[in-house]
Amino acid sequence: MTLMFRRALVAMLLAMSVGLTSAVRAQGNPPASSAVTLFENVRIFDGKSAALSAPSNVLVRGNKIETISTQPIAVDRRADTRIISGGGRTLMPGLIDAHWHAMLIRVTPAQSFGDVGYVNLVAAAEAKDTLMRGFTTVRDVGGPVFGLKAAIDEGIVKGPRVYPSGAVITVTSGHGDFRQRTDLPRTIGGMLTRMEQVGGAMVADSPDEVRLRVREQLMQGASQVKLTAGGGVSSPFSPIDVSTFTEAELRAAVEAAENWGTYVAAHAFTPAAIQRSIAAGVRCIEHGMLMDDATAKLMAEKGIWLSMQPLPEDLRLGFPVGSVQRAKADEVWPGIGRTYELAKKYNIKTAWGTDVLFSGALARQQGAILASLVRWYTPAEALVMATSTNAELLALAGKRNPYPGKLGVVEQGALADLLLVDGNPLDNINLVADPGKNFLVIMKDGAIYKNDVPK
Q: Is the distance from CB of 171 to CB of 204 less than 8 angstroms?
A: yes
Closest CA to 407 of 145, 223, 265, 142: 223
Cα 12 to chain centroid distance, Å, stands at: 36
* Residues 6 or more apart in contact with residue 369 via CB below 8 angstroms: 309, 310, 312, 354, 356, 362
Structure confidence at residue 33 (pLDDT): 61
pTM of the model: 0.91
Q: What is the DSSP letter of 395?
A: G
- How far lies 55's CA from each of 16, 46, 68, 398, 400, in Å? 53, 13, 11, 35, 37
| Strand, coil or helix: 148 | helix
Residue 113's pLDDT is what?
A: 84
**What is the tens place of the pLDDT at every residue in 303-362?**
999 999 999 888 888 888 888 889 888 899 999 999 999 999 999 999 999 999 888 999
Regions of the chain with pLDDT less than 70: 1-33
Pairwise CA distance, residues 229 & 238, whole Å: 11
Measure CA 274 to chain center: 20
Is residue 11 packed enough to be buried (19+ CB in 10 Å), middle (13-18) or exposed (0-12)?
Answer: exposed
> Could you give the count of Cα atoms lying within 13 Å of 266 in the half-sphere of its Cβ?
34
